[in-house]
Amino acid sequence: MSDRWNDKKRCSICNFLVNSPKGTIFLSSVDTSNIFKTTDKVFDMLNAIVERIGEENIVQAITNIVANYKARGELLMGKRKGLFWTPCVAHCIDLILKDFEKKLKVHQVTIAKGRRITSYIYPKSILISMLRHFTKENDFIRPVATRFATAYLTLGCLSDSKL
C-alpha cells in the first residue's frame, strides 16, 4: 500500500506499508518533494518496493486514485501479471463525500454550521471543559481540510451529543 500526503511545510511524502494476515507494518517513507511526479517516477518507486518485498509475496497494490497513481497501477499490472492494482476505498469514499459537499446545498450549509460550532468551542478551554462535562468526556471530531469524511464524522458527533 502507498499513501502520499503533504505536511504543513508542503513537503510531499510517500509512505509504503505492507499488509499481511499478521497485520499492517510500515515499510518505508520517501520524500517526494523533489521528484517530478510523472507516471514513470511513481512507477519506479512502487516497482522498487515490489522488488524489495518479492513479487511472489504480493497479490495487490493499493494507492490513491489520482491519475498518475492509477496509471502507475496499470503499468505495474502490465509488468507483473500476478499482481493487481486497486484504488484505496477510503480515498474513493472521501472523493464521493467531497462531491456531496460541493454539489448538494444542504450538505454545504450543514457542514459549514458544524465547522462554526467546533471552531467556536475548541479555541476556548472553558468551553472544551463544559463540552466534556455535558457529553460525559466525549469530544467532537474536528474537521480537517484534507479529509472530507471528517466533516461527516463531526456532524455525527454533534448529532449524538444533541447540542
Tens-digit pLDDT profile for residues 27-43: 998 888 877 666 677 78
Distance (Å, whole) CA 85 – CA 74: 7
- What is the pTM (predicted TM-score) of this model? 0.60
Contacts of 79 (CB under 8 A, 6+ apart): 47
pLDDT digits (tens, 9 = 90+) for 30-81: 888 877 666 677 788 888 989 999 989 888 888 877 777 788 888 888 898 8
* CA nearest neighbour of 110 among 159, 162, 161: 159
For 63, other C-beta atoms within 10 Å of its C-beta total 23
pLDDT tens readout for residues 107-163: 889 888 888 888 888 888 888 888 888 887 777 765 555 566 677 777 777 777 765
